[in-house]
Amino acid sequence: MGYTLQELADAIDGIAHGSAKNPIDSVATIYNAGAGSISFLANRGYYKYLSDTHAEAIILAEQDLEKCPVPAIVVKNPYLAYAKIATLLNPPVQAIQGLHPSASVAADASVHASVAVAANAVIESGVSIAEGCTIGPGCVVGSNVTIGKATVLVANVTLCHDVVIGARVILHPGVVIGADGFGIANDEGEWIKVPQLGSVNIADDVEIGANTTVDRGALEDTIIEQGVKLDNQIQVAHNVIIGEHTAIAGCTGIAGSTHIGKHCAIGGAVSIVGHLEIADKVQITAASTVTQSIKEPGLYSSGTPLQQNGHWHRNFVRFRQLDEMAKRIRKLEKQIEK
């Protein structure tokens, strides 16, 4: 099904300029788009492709309209507008309601009639699954788990016992929610397991990427608040709290009992040690290591940027000498003062 340029503009509260020759039925990159495709310009690095684009239309900001050779939709936030149009043109495939013959559902589980349960899924005793949910192939829903309306477990997702999942949550393949946290006590050199007695509580509209793990709390729950977006392969340890509408990129590790605020943006491969507090509206750049609490909003970074290997070796040697150099400087300052 295709749309006119005006129909798409109306759908995203944009302003249409010109009229597309063909119905628009797909999205594409600005340099590969062709007839029937719409693209967007949000990154200045792609501005060089604008003059030669063969797209049916471009989503862009007002300041770029003059240079656009094809019809356009003008908006304040082109990337957001693109996301909305891409969703409109690519609606999710609706799963088939009902239970697959190979699924295993406990007799006392409460599964709404509209739920789709795919092949080899396991739903254990005491589970409650609300209307419109999808339980994908190979998923395991442990005992006494609660799942809200229209939530999707894509495939091979594991929800351990007593986990609570809100409405419209998306859990991608391989996600594990509610495994035991890393609780161990040392008994004269031998590690003894500490029971993990809390659970995990995930609020509405959360999305969690493939192979990400969220551990259950030691005594109280691990909490993921409304609208949080987690990328692939993230580790969220026991008793972590992640505030509303925070987004975290892949391969980040968050140690236990850390409290991350609302509306934060955390880059990929960030390491956050335990028992810290991170304020609302904090941004942390990729590969940073967070070793102390962050009490004020803002942009934070750590680490050494990539450089030629020989320079890195010389700078590393200097880094090891910093303490001695600081002592010598203080000694010289005292001599000058005298």
Q: What are 16's strand-pairing partners?
A: 73
Q: Shortest CA distance to 72 belongs to which of 117, 17, 26, 126?
A: 17
> Is 263 among the residues known to form the active site?
no
Q: Shortest CA distance to 274 belongs to which of 298, 296, 290?
A: 290
Judge whether 214 and 233 are in contact, CB under 8 Å.
no
β pairing state of 128-129 and 110-111: parallel
Q: Residue with structure tokens 């580790």?
A: 235
Active-site hit among 54, 100, 172, 238: 238
Q: What is the DSSP letter of 280?
A: T
Identity of the residue numbered 282: V
159/200 Cα distance (integer angstroms): 9
Q: Residue with structure tokens 């509408």?
A: 245
Q: Which residues are catalytic?
A: 238
